[in-house]
A = this chain, B = another copy of it.
Amino acid sequence: MSVPDHPETASGTEESGRKIPPASLARLPIYLRALNAMLADSVERVSSEELAEAAGVKSAMLRKDLSYLGSFGTRGVGYDVQFVSQKISALLGLSQEWRVAIVGAGNLGRALARYSGFASRGFEVVAVFDADERIVGTRIGWLTVSNADNLEFELERTQTNMAVLAVPAAVAQQLCDRLVAAGVTSILSFAPVVLQVPPHVQVRKVDMGTELQILAYHAQRAQETESGSRARSAQ
């Protein structure tokens, strides 16, 4: 918490203007987590080798990733944990609170609404919607489930700027369209469908079904090669 502004600027290394390659961007949250864990352990300095190890990547890759956000780090020594953490936080836009609406209060939606990991990382759940009248009005923690009919009104009222879609596939596109029309430009979707959105809207997808199927592919191949003797490797 606290999220102070970076004190010393004009160090010659304000590289914020550059655009980060997507693959690199996707790893920054991982680095950030590792750095924050180190901070919690009062670790002050870290080498690219150590941090890369913690993040499960090669050290050269870590260094290249960090180099996109500027060149801090001291040759012969390593990186200042707190400083790099702040740099990444700032770059990701975590210095501001993001106001998240969860659309769909079924099993998954309710679980997400209660998930404490949101708040702790600068994402506040400010609204939960559902279309089922048996669910509308029920409480989830300190939130009350709103009627999806009032989606536009409530998004405006709560100043939502990010949405999580946790609705059945059949209605996902339609609700996505309403979110977009209401001005939401960042959507995290759990619905197993390909959403069509205009180019200025960012959609990220989380899909358990897809992930399990990918696992199944590898598992099947493993079976085939070592066929017969199932793993039973319990020492």
Q: What's the tally of chain A residues with a CB closer than 8 Å to chain B?
A: 73
Chain A residues numbered 22-76 whose CB sits less than 8 Å from any CB in chain B: 25-26, 28-30, 32-34, 54-56
With a cutoff of 8 Å between Cβ atoms, the chain B residues found around residue A210 in the complex are 26, 29-30
Copies of this protein in the assembly total: 2
Of A7-15, A104-112, A130-138, the one with at least 4 CB within 8 A of chain B: A104-112
Is there a chain B Cβ closer than 8 Å to A185's Cβ?
Answer: yes
Q: How far is the CA of A232 from the CA of B186 in the complex (A)?
A: 14
Given contacts A183-B233, A234-B152, A234-B183, contact A219 B161 (CB under 8 A): yes
Tell me whether B30 and A214 are in contact (CB under 8 A): no
Tell me whether A204 and B209 are in contact (CB under 8 A): no
Is there a chain B Cβ closer than 8 Å to A94's Cβ?
Answer: yes
With a cutoff of 8 Å between Cβ atoms, the chain B residues found around residue A56 in the complex are 194, 196
User: Which residues of A pack against B, CB within 8 Å?
Assistant: 20, 25-26, 28-30, 32-34, 54-56, 91-94, 96, 98, 100, 107-108, 110-112, 114-115, 117-118, 121-123, 152, 156, 161-162, 164, 181-183, 185-188, 192-194, 196, 200, 202, 204, 206-222, 230-235
